[in-house]
Amino acid sequence: MSPIALRQLVSLALLLSLASPFAAALPTLQERDGAVDASAAAPVLAAVSQELVQVVNATKLSNASASSVSLSKKVSLPAYYSALVAVGASYTDNAHARASKYSSSLRQYYPYNKWNGRYTNGKVGVEWMVDSSTSPALKRSGSNLPKLLDYAYGGSVVQNGLSGTGSSSPAAVDQISAYLADVKSGSAALVSGRVLHYFNSGINSQYQIWNAALSAGLSDSSIANAKSATSAQVSVLAAAIRTIKKSSALASKAHGVDFVVVGLPALEIVPTSAYQVPSSFSADKKAKALSLLKTITAQYNAGLKSFAAELKTEVKSVGDRVYFYDLASLWYDMHSNPKRYGITVSPVTKTCYNSSTGSVCSNPSSYLYFDTLHPVTSVHAIIAKKVNALVLGA
């Protein structure tokens, strides 16, 4: 057969692969995450000559058209990660360079300036996820650690202006748009492996939503508003994450588009929450306030968890992976069993840095909290290990 005729036959084979009989054989291949694997391809193409298999192999490596991408992804997705893309707020901001108009999203003052304005005393979770000291590590190619592409801004919300929430820096939806623009222009270095997309947004918007209910004295209507605002937050974040799944520029450049959606910590037990309740509230009303915060945090997390389950089914056929990390469960366990995590100070809500006195502790890794909202870097490292283990299926 001439190369031209072969190429035409291959095009036909690729088109046919979208329907039976090839499609029937594909499910086993979808589970594979190895590199190009002739033994995996053989059963699918059993009726086709070895010569043709070779051309299919070459074609799928070179042709990024929409029809062949779905077949090539199924058989050639690598196992390793080359990039970790991070979207979020202070828990995720690695103090990356930013436009001067957003400089207030970093804490360029004592003691945070010691760590370039990060909201903790060292690396944040996503930095630990790709740090050579972290075990388990994400799968890597040789000695190449995945590269962190951090789009997070401290203080940011899900969408500026949504249900009365906002900040002066790019929100999660803006961070995602900026990332997709970088993918399109080629300035996002995705390299040759899978890309893991990490999302941890909503802590600031949920506090703003809760504060609106506190300001309204926890009226019935303010409580109802807090719950509907929470649903709106989940919907908007979910829709923004789906734009990544739908990006054709990304589909043609990445070799596996994976997602890890991280929930919020259990906000009602985070020390800042008790300080935010107006001192005019009675003990009963304070308890009601914290109970509402628990309710809307759990609602937000449950919404993200069910979104992640839907997304997982939506991307399964192209071999992409989706995970939900339940940060609130870790938070409850760290509060109940702090010693299990090396946290020895008591009470567990004690902070390393005290903003009233200006003192910073000398043993931060014995703490959970650096300040009343943010964990110490050693707790960020624990989160990173947990998320890496989840992604590894360990």
Q: CB of residue 95 vs ligand NAG: minimum separation in angstroms?
A: 24
The residue within the footprint of ligand NAG, chosen from 13, 17, 44, 57 (CB under 6 A), is: 57
Decide: 329 and 387 in contact? Cβ < 8 Å: no
* Phi and psi, residue 389, nearest 5°: -65, -40
Structure-block tokens of residue 91? 């828990």
Q: How many CA atoms lie within 13 A of 257 on its CB side?
A: 26
Distances from the Cα of 98 to the Cα of 93, 95, 287, 385, angstroms: 11, 8, 40, 28
Confirm or reject binding of residue 16 to ligand NAG (CB under 6 A): no
Q: CB of residue 200 vs ligand NAG: minimum separation in angstroms?
A: 23
The residue within the footprint of ligand NAG, chosen from 12, 16, 18, 38 (CB under 6 A), is: 38
Q: CB of residue 228 vs ligand NAG: minimum separation in angstroms?
A: 33
Q: CB of residue 15 vs ligand NAG: minimum separation in angstroms?
A: 7
Q: CB of residue 76 vs ligand NAG: minimum separation in angstroms?
A: 8
- Strands in 81-88's sheet, in edge-to-edge order, are 147-150, 81-88, 194-200, 257-262, 322-325
The residue within the footprint of ligand NAG, chosen from 8, 20, 49, 67 (CB under 6 A), is: 67
Decide: 276 and 207 in contact? Cβ < 8 Å: yes
Q: How many residues bind ligand NAG (CB under 6 A)?
A: 17
The residue within the footprint of ligand NAG, chosen from 351, 377, 378, 388 (CB under 6 A), is: 351
The residue within the footprint of ligand NAG, chosen from 357, 358, 393, 394 (CB under 6 A), is: 357
Q: Which is nearer to ligand NAG, 198 or 369 (CB)?
A: 369
Confirm or reject binding of residue 372 to ligand NAG (CB under 6 A): yes
Q: Which is nearer to ligand NAG, 279 or 313 (CB)?
A: 279
The residue within the footprint of ligand NAG, chosen from 354, 363, 389, 392 (CB under 6 A), is: 354
Length reported for the chain? 394
Q: Among 61-69, 109-117, 206-214, 237-245, which window interacts with ligand NAG (CB under 6 A)?
A: 61-69
Q: Which is nearer to ligand NAG, 62 or 279 (CB)?
A: 62
Confirm or reject binding of residue 39 to ligand NAG (CB under 6 A): no
Decide: 296 and 52 in contact? Cβ < 8 Å: no
* Phi and psi, residue 162, nearest 5°: -80, 125
DSSP per residue, 57-74: HHHHHH---HHHHHHHHH
Q: CB of residue 78 vs ligand NAG: minimum separation in angstroms?
A: 12
Q: Among 65-73, 193-201, 280-288, 306-314, which window interacts with ligand NAG (CB under 6 A)?
A: 65-73
* Phi and psi, residue 240, nearest 5°: -65, -40
Confirm or reject binding of residue 11 to ligand NAG (CB under 6 A): yes
Confirm or reject binding of residue 219 to ligand NAG (CB under 6 A): no
Q: Give CB contacts under 8 A, 24+ apart, made by 47-55.
A: 48/13, 51/1, 51/6, 52/6, 52/9, 52/10, 52/13, 55/3, 55/6, 55/7, 55/10
64: left (phi over 0), alpha (psi -120 to 50) or beta: alpha
Residues near ligand NAG (CB under 6 A): 11, 36, 38, 53-54, 57, 62-63, 65, 67-68, 350-351, 354, 356-357, 372
